[in-house]
């Protein structure tokens, strides 16, 4: 048997066993996260031998720092609740820890989501108002068309009324003219009647005068009869 085949036959079981063990080892591994929640005690003095006056405040709590010890390991602080003492400076930092920032971001996210929901509700209400405004605008357009039609009819009727009024005025003017002409004719008739009456009176007077004249001169014009009494 060649040497290479012999080595392969020996190593093959070994490699298979190693692969199996590696698979078992990988299967046994699990992911874990370190808990960053920490409680830091507060002491009456700058040292680990001083009495603890507060069992511990959680990480991320905001405090007020007054001074630092000569060795720089301790700082005099006061909590928002009024507890004053000393705490190791290794637990203090100028910037808020990640957990606080995470809570702030979560709060901001909640506020942003609330604002988003309000905006969605506002947009929905705006869209509803827009639809209602569109319906109102359509109703106004229909009403405007009706008003225009009525205005056109009023104009037509008004035009006919104006024309009728003009005709009435013309008729009234013509009637007044005819009335005046009739009045003039009546006066002329009265004048002529009076003139005729005067002529008739004059004719009567002339006839009477002629009668008187005839009566006066008539006998003179007639020939006298001779008397037959013998006086001739």
Task: In whole angstroms, give the CA distance from residue 222 to residue 38.
Answer: 184
Question: Is residue 73 in a domain?
Answer: yes
Q: Is 87 inside any structural domain?
A: yes
In this structure, is residue 66 part of a structural domain? yes
Given a cut of 90, is residue 66 above it in pLDDT? yes
Virtual torsion, Cα 67, 73, 77, 81, nearest 10 deg: 180
Tens-digit pLDDT profile for residues 76-98: 999 988 999 999 998 888 887 76
Q: Residue 27 pairs with which residues in a beta bridge?
A: none
Of 3-12, 109-118, 141-150, 183-192, where does mean pLDDT reach its minimum?
Answer: 3-12
Residue 187 forms part of a structural domain: no
Q: What range does the domain containing 44 cover? A: 39-93
CATH number (domain holding residue 53): 2.30.30.40
Pair of tokens at residue 56: 């511990």
> What is the domain count for the chain?
1
The verdict on residue 1 lying in a domain is: no
Q: Which residues pair with 79 in a beta bridge?
A: 63
Query: What is the per-residue pLDDT across 140-193, written as a single tens digit (0 to 9) for each?
Result: 888 888 988 888 887 787 777 777 778 878 888 888 888 888 888 888 888 888
Q: Residue 53: inside a domain, yes or no?
A: yes
Residue 200: inside a domain? no
Q: Per the domain annotation, does 51 fall within a domain?
A: yes
């Amino acid at each position: 048997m060649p040497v290479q085949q012999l080595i392969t036959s020996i190593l093959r079981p070994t490699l298979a066993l190693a692969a199996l063990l590696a698979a078992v080892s990988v299967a046994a591994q699990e992911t874990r996260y370190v808990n960053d929640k920490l409680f830091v005690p507060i002491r009456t003095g700058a040292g680990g031998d001083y009495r603890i006056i507060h069992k511990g405040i959680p990480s991320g709590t905001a405090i007020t720092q007054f001074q630092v010890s000569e060795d720089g390991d301790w700082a005099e602080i006061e909590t928002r609740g009024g507890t004053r003492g000393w705490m190791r400076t290794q637990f203090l930092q100028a910037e808020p820890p990640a957990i606080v920032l995470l809570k702030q971001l979560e709060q901001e996210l909640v506020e942003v989501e609330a604002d988003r929901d309000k905006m969605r509700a506002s947009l929905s209400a705006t869209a509803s108002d827009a639809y209602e405004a569109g319906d109102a605008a359509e109703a106004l357009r229909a009403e405007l068309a009706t008003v225009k039609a009525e205005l056109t009819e009023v104009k037509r009727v008004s035009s006919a009324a104006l024309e009728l009024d003009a005709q009435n005025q013309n008729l009234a003017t013509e009637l007044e003219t005819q009335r005046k002409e009739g009045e003039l004719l009546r006066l002329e008739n009265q004048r002529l009647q009076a003139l005729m009456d005067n002529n008739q009176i004059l004719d009567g007077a002339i006839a009477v005068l002629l009668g008187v004249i005839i009566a006066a001169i008539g006998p003179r014009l007639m020939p006298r009869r001779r008397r037959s009494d013998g006086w001739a």
